[in-house]
Amino acid sequence: MLWESLVKSKNFGFGPGTTCGRNPKKELAFKLSINIKQNMRKQLAIMVFIILASLAQILYYYPQLPDVIASHFNASGTANGWQPKRAFFAIYGGVLVLLVLVFSGSALFMDRIPYSLINLPRKDYWLAPERRDETFLFINNQMLMFGNATLLFIFIVFQLVIKENLTHQNLLSPPIMLPLLGVYILATIVWTVRFILRFRI
């Protein structure tokens, strides 16, 4: 690929075998770009895995559930709303598709978003030609990471709802749901802080 060719090129003064004219800042930037791209591949693979697991979940549990299932629960984990399982799984599938489109779509098409619609501190600095690619790589990677965290959260919640309908063990009670929600909120906070700190100068 182009970015791999650039890293290996001697014309930039930091390719393999180069002994002089090194530019540490450029070399570090290219190494960082490589690491981010590698991590993006991992995040995409994780996203595909979660989607496949969700499809397997639907195919496995759909025949086991009754035609009408509990789909809404109060704060204590007691069911207080029901719907046909067909509608339940249609909503589940729709949520999955929407999340994949939002997070992977924004990552894949970030560079096509109009400059005026991108909201970053010191936007002129971070989107300058020499930093634009690296900035977009970081944002894309972060979007995929947060998307995977959200997909995993949704997967677990729907799994608990499905199992509750099969076992009636009060699996959506506060002792179970509050830690799960807490982990997701903590992950969101960490992601947000990391994102903000990345664009501080």
Residues 6+ away with beta carbon under 8 Å from 22:
13, 14
- The verdict on pTM exceeding 0.85 is no
**Kind and range of the H or E run holding 61:** helix 24-61
Contact 162, 56 (CB under 8 A): no
Return the exposure string of 4-30: e unless at least 16 CB atoms fall within 10 Å of the residue's CB, then b: eeebeeeebebbeeeeeeeeeeebeeb
User: What is the spatial distance between Cα 140 and Cα 113, in angstroms, rounded to a whole number?
Assistant: 12
Residue 72 backbone dihedrals phi, psi, to 5 degrees? -135, 140
What are the boundaries of each domain within the chain?
Answer: 39-198
Fill in the amino acid letter for 94.
G
Residue 139: strand, helix, or coil: helix
So what's the pLDDT on residue 38? 80
Task: Return the pLDDT at 181.
Answer: 95
SS3 state of residue 127? coil
Residue stretches of the chain with pLDDT short of 70: 1-33, 35-36, 107-108, 111, 201
